[in-house]
Amino acid sequence: MKNIIRTAGCLLLSLMLAAAAVPRAVRATAPQDGAQSQDSVQGTEAKDPYQQQLEDTYKQEVQTNKLKEWPQGPGIYGDAGIVMDAETGAVLYGKNIDQQEYPASITKLLTALLAFEYCDMTEDVVITAESLTCLGDGYASIGLKEGNVISMEQALYAMLLASSNEVAYAVGETVAKTQGEDYQWFIDEMNRKVEELGGTNSHFVNTNGVHEEDHYTCARDMALIAKELFDYPEFFTICQTTSYTIPASATTEEHIFQQKHEMLVPGYSDYYEYAVGGKTGYTTEANNTLVTMADNGEMKLVCVTLKVFPGHVYSDTKALLDYGFSNFQHMAIDVDGSQGIEKILDTASVTIPSGFELSSLKSDLEQVTGGNSTAILSYTYEDNPVGRLQVQVDKGASFEEAGAQEEEEASDSGVGKVLLVGVVVIVLILGILLLFTAWCRRQRRRRRRGRRRRRRR
C-alpha cells in the first residue's frame, strides 16, 4: 500500500511541474493597495475620494507609451482614449482602446452614418408615438410632437447638433421603412456595420445612446465609425453649423438649436482651429464621452475619449490632437511587386513617428473573403497598427495564415486543460487510496481487539 501511495505522489508531483511549465496568457491586473508603505500612511492627510479617483484615472497606463521609442502621449482624465489617423487607420495613441464602455449620445454618429448610406436627404421623417417613448426627465430633445414631419436633412441637424433623442429614434424608423423593414432591422444593421468596419467590442440596442446595460462600445470601434464618416462631406457641413433653424410648416412648429460640441464653435474658450466634426455624449453611467475629427491640412485625425471626468473632456481631446499632429507623419509605401502585389488601390502610405524608418515595420498580406484578386496589406509596429492598404494581387501572392497564432495559443491552452484534468484525477485517486488505507487500518484494529477479547475468555 505504501508503494502505491509513493507512486501516486510522484505522478502527482510530475503533473504539477509539467502544468507549471505550460505557457499561458496572463491577464494584467492592477497592483493591490493592501501593502501600503508606512510612509504613505503616516504624515499625510487622506485625499478626497473623488480627487483620488481623478488622479488615479490620469495615471492609468497608456498602452502606446510602452512601444519602444514611440512618442510619449499625455495622460487623460478618462478611462479610455484613442487617436486614429482617418486616412491610414493608424493608432497613434491608445489607452484601453478595446475596453467596453457606455457611449451615450456619440451613438448617434453610427445612426447618421447609416442614414447617409441608405437615405435621400429629402426623405420625410415622421415623429411617431414610439419615438417619443425614449424620452425621460432631462433627456436631450428639441420638443417635437407626435405627427410632426421634417426632412431627413433637418433630422440629422437636430440629431447631430442638438442631440435630439426622439429624432434619432425616428431616423432609425425612417431608414428601416425605406428598406421595407422595421426599427429592429436598423438596430441589427448598426451592429452589422460596426463589424464590417472592423469593430469587435460593440453592441448597440438603440439609435440614440439612452442608457441600457447591453448598449456599449469601445474607443477603437467609435474611431472606426468616425473614420468612415470622412466619406460624407455633408456630415461636416452639419457639424460646422453653429446654429440651425427648422422653419415652421403645416405639421411642425419652428425649432432653433445650436451646436453643442464646443471645440467646433468659434469664439468659445474650447474652440479648436483644426476641429471639423464630432459629437458629444453624456449620461450618468457613461460620464462624458466625446468624438472629435480634426484636419490640419496634412493629416486627418479622429480622437475618441470615453468615461471622462467633468471639466476635462475638451482639454484632454485638445492635448491628444496636438500630440498626434506634432509627433507623426505620413510615409509613402512602394510595394514594387513584392509579395505578389500588382498595385495599391487606395492611400499608399502609413503613419509613423517622425524619424521612424519603414524597415522597423512588419507587413502582413490578408486575403479578402471571396478569393478574388483584392487583398489587405497591413503594417504594424510592435503589433500596433500604423497602416492598412487595399491592394490588387496576382495568383502567386503569399498570404498570412490568419489565426495561426490563435491556434497555437488554443493548442497550449488545450494541453494545460489536459494536465489540469490529470492533476484532478490523481488527487481523487490519492484521496480514495488514503480513505481505503484508513478503513483497512480500522478493520485490522477491530480484528485485533476481537482476538484479545476471545483470549481473555
Domain ranges of the chain: 63-327, 333-393
Q: Strand, helix or coil at 119?
A: coil
Its pTM surpasses 0.85: no
User: Regarding the domain delimited by 63-327, which CATH topology (the fold level of the hierarchy) does it fall under?
Assistant: Beta-lactamase (3.40.710)
Beta bridge partners of 277: 293
Q: For position 17, what pLDDT does the model report?
A: 47
Report the b/e string of 76-101 with b at 16+ CB within 10 A.
bbbbbbbbbbbbbbbbbbbbbbeeeb
Start-end of H helices in 93-232: 108-118, 129-132, 152-160, 165-178, 183-197, 219-229
Distance CA 143, CA 149 (A): 13
Asked if residue 214 lies in contact with residue 203, where contact means CB atoms within 8 angstroms, the answer is yes
Sign of dihedral through CA atoms 111, 117, 122, 126?
A: negative
Distance CA 334, CA 331 (A): 10
Q: Which three cell numbers stand for residue 452?
A: 484479545
Q: For position 371, what pLDDT does the model report?
A: 55
Q: For position 33, what pLDDT does the model report?
A: 33
CA atoms within 13 A on the CB side of 25: 9
Kindly calculate the radius of gyration of the chain based on its CA atoms and give it in whole angstroms: 30
Chunked into runs of 10 residues, the chain (457 residues) has average pLDDT values of 52 49 38 35 66 95 96 98 97 98 98 97 97 88 96 98 98 97 98 97 97 97 98 98 97 96 98 98 97 97 98 98 97 70 74 89 76 78 89 62 38 52 68 71 67 54
* Nearest partner of 288 among 298, 276, 279, judged by Cα: 279
Beta bridge partners of 352: 329
Distance CA 302, CA 321 (A): 8
